[in-house]
Amino acid sequence: MQTNREISDAKLGEALDKIERVRQHRRQKFYLRDTHITLSHGSGGKATHNLIEGVFAPAFSNPLLDRMDDSAVFNLAPGSTTMAFTTDSYVVSPLFFPGGDIGELAVNGTVNDLAMAGARPLYLSAGFILEEGLPMADLQRIVASMAAAAARAGVLIVTGDTKVVQRGKADKVLSIRRA
């Protein structure tokens, strides 16, 4: 005789299977109607979802990505330690706001994505796209904020990349986080 927990787990499994079947069916019939990128495509709402389903998901389809989670959770080999990997990027104006800044947001947001996947965040990489003319003092303040947030979260920033774009071609700083 099945326990209530086993019945509940079975129903949950059936519901998740149905959601996945619907998702796969939708993907095969999805039509992106937009002809140009707009700010709404980066808002995290319906336009973002349509962009992901219409452009990225079909092009990069694989079992890890098809789950459509904020983090990929996987084993490098059968029976090995479970790993989680994510990437995040932030565009914020102003760069400094009451209660924080883009640096703190970047670290905490990426750590949160991993924690929501059930992972214990350990390492981050930092990617910067800096706009020509950004005051060095602002960059130093952002980096210090990132270092403090990483220390509070118990993670190390272990690698990174930096590019500079022409004045007016970025919103001062674009930060891409990978973990």
Residue 83, pLDDT score: 93
Task: Tell me how far CA of residue 16 lies from CA of 26, 49, 54, 74, 95, in angstroms.
Answer: 15, 19, 22, 19, 39
Residue 126, pLDDT score: 95
pLDDT tens-digit profile of 139-150? 999 999 999 999
Domain layout of the chain by residue ranges: 1-68, 69-179
pLDDT of 176 over the 60 cut? no
The pLDDT mean for the chain works out to 86
pLDDT of 93 over the 80 cut? yes
How many residues in total does the chain contain?
179
Q: Under CATH, to which class is 69-179 assigned?
A: alpha beta
pLDDT of 174 over the 80 cut? no
Residue 50, pLDDT score: 87
Residue 139, pLDDT score: 96
pLDDT tens-digit profile of 31-47? 678 888 888 988 888 88
Contact call for residues 88 and 113 (beta carbons, < 8 A): yes
CA distance 61 to 49: 15
Residue 17, pLDDT score: 73
Q: Residue 82's pLDDT band (boundaries 50, 70, 90)?
A: very high
Burial class (CB in 10 A: 0-12, 13-18, 19+), 108: middle
CA distance 70 to 84: 10
- In this prediction, residues 55-73 reach a mean pLDDT of 90
pLDDT of 16 over the 80 cut? no
Residue 28, pLDDT score: 59
